[in-house]
Amino acid sequence: MKVIEPDQKTKIHLKINGKDYETEVEPRRLLVHVLRDLGFTGVHIGCDTSNCGACTIIMNGKSVKSCTVLGVEADGSEILTIEGLAKDGKLHPIQEAFWEKHALQCGYCTPGMIMESLWFLSQNPNPTEEEIREGISGNLCRCTGYQNIVEAIKEASTKMKANPK
């Protein structure tokens, strides 16, 4: 059993986008702040109340809202953020599809939307429009009206099938 006192900091270890990081946190520190402080500012804070999904990341293979996870809770996890998607200067197919289908305006929701799409497509590689809408129901966009986001995810599913990794 490990006990961390309220005034104490503790070391946590995270693997983020394939690289190892170690950092000291207070128990009350939220994962979203830990990630942003380590430079992963693509992880956005929209609502801070677990509703908007702008802070969505992949933790140990599943999409989660990083504003609703504590840093200490994530100790030892593997994390993927939007910064980890492009490889060798080439965008991920979901990023390409968002670009081509004009699925963003201000872009605030986009990193969370793309991370959720990544998890969703891993679960359902060939989704219908209705399934896509249910799949992104934890992500709010205040600009686009969702139509182009849905089209982009559909397009991404086709791209990813044509070119599986």
Partner 1 sequence: MYPPKLGYVIAENLEEATDFLEKHEDAKALAGGHSLIPMLKLRIIRPSYLVDIRRISNLHFISPGSDEIRIGSLSTHYEISKANIPLLSETATKIADPQVRNMGTIGGVISQLDPSADYPASLIAMDAKVKVKGKTERTVSFKDFAKDMFTPDLNPGELVTEIIVPAFKDYKFSYQKLERKAGDYAIVGVAVLLKTDGESIKDVRIGLTAVNNTAVRATEAENMLKDTRISEEIIEKASAKVMDYANPVSDIRGSAEYKKKVTKVMAKRAILEALKR
Ligand X SMILES: Cc1cc2nc3c(=O)[nH]c(=O)nc-3n(C[C@H](O)[C@H](O)[C@H](O)COP(=O)(O)OP(=O)(O)OC[C@H]3O[C@@H](n4cnc5c(N)ncnc54)[C@H](O)[C@@H]3O)c2cc1C
Residue 84 interface partner, choices ligand FES, partner 1, ligand X, none, CB cut-off 5-8 Å depending on type: none
Q: Using CB distances below 5 to 8 A depending on partner kind, what does residue 132 bind out of ligand FES, partner 1, ligand X, none? A: none
Closer to ligand FES at the Cβ: 117 or 144? 144
Contact 53/109 with Cβ under 8 angstroms?
yes
- In angstroms and rounded to an integer, the radius of gyration of the C-alpha atoms of the chain is 16
Q: How far is CA 18 from CA 22, 78, 150, in A?
A: 13, 8, 29
Q: How far is the CB of 116 from ligand X (least distance, A)?
A: 14
Region near ligand FES per CB under 6 A, out of 14-22, 40-48, 80-88, 150-158:
40-48
CA 165/CA 160 separation, integer angstroms: 8
Q: Which of residues 21-40 bind ligand X (CB under 6 A)?
A: none
What torsion, rounded to 10 degrees, do the Cα atoms 157, 132, 107, 70 define? -100
Q: Is 128 in the site for partner 1 (CB under 8 A)?
A: no
Q: What is the largest distance, in Å, between two alpha-carbon atoms of the chain?
A: 53
Min dist CB 163 to ligand X, Å, is: 32
CA–CA separation, 24 and 12 (whole Å): 6
120: nearest Cα among 101, 133, 103:
133
Which of 42, 46, 71, 84 is close enough to bind ligand FES by CB under 6 A? 46
Does 147 sit near ligand X (CB under 6 A)?
no
Q: What CA–CA distance (Å, rounded) separates 104 from 102?
A: 6
Question: Which residues on adjacent β-strands are paired with residue 78?
Answer: 15
Q: Which residues sit at the interface with partner 1, rule CB under 8 A?
A: 1-8, 10, 26-28, 30, 48-51, 53, 56, 62-65, 68-70, 72-73, 116, 119-120, 134-135, 137-139
Which residues contact ligand X by CB under 6 A?
Answer: 50-51, 105, 143
Residues that bind ligand FES (CB under 6 A): 45-48, 50-55, 65, 67, 104-109, 141-144
